[in-house]
Amino acid sequence: MGTGRSDGENNPTAGVCSPWAGSTQFIPVQAHTGTGEILRFASGLAHPLSGLDHVLAMLAVGIWASLLGRQSIMRLPPAFLGAMLAGMVLALIGIDIPAVESGIVASVLVLGLAVATGLRLPAVMAAVICAIFGLVARPCPWQ
């Protein structure tokens, strides 16, 4: 007879920590898959949709835009996506943007705080902020 059960009854965090640990373990693997030029290109284009940090930034842009109203809904998401496309083109022609991963983390934090605090800015100013963060959140087609 053992001293405890293996089903998590004696561990109140077993049901919480186990799924969390398993789900976060595979995020980088899903975001950086593929070998060869074609698969690397497709993987790079898909990365903003499979990388949790990119998805959180895009969700924050959409939520913030909806909180700010109609003008922002029409400006923030296109500014973010347009800047992502511009960043990808810059990367393809050899112009590298430094500290991309740090910029993505900053975008998640800043945009998340804007949503959480209900930050009210004019639509143009909010679109500029989103575009700056979109530039660093660009797809990387050579991953």
What tens digit of pLDDT does each residue of 12-48 get? 434 433 343 344 443 444 444 444 555 566 666 666 6
Mean pLDDT along residues 78-97 = 86
Per-domain residue ranges for the chain? 14-136
**pLDDT at residue number 83:** 92
Per-residue pLDDT at 68 exceeds 60 = yes
- Residues 6 or more apart in contact with residue 79 via CB below 8 angstroms: 127, 128, 130, 131, 134
Q: How much is the mean pLDDT over the chain?
A: 74
pTM above 0.75, yes or no: no
Surface-to-core class of residue 81, CB atoms within 10 Å of its CB (0-12 exposed, 13-18 middle, 19+ buried): middle
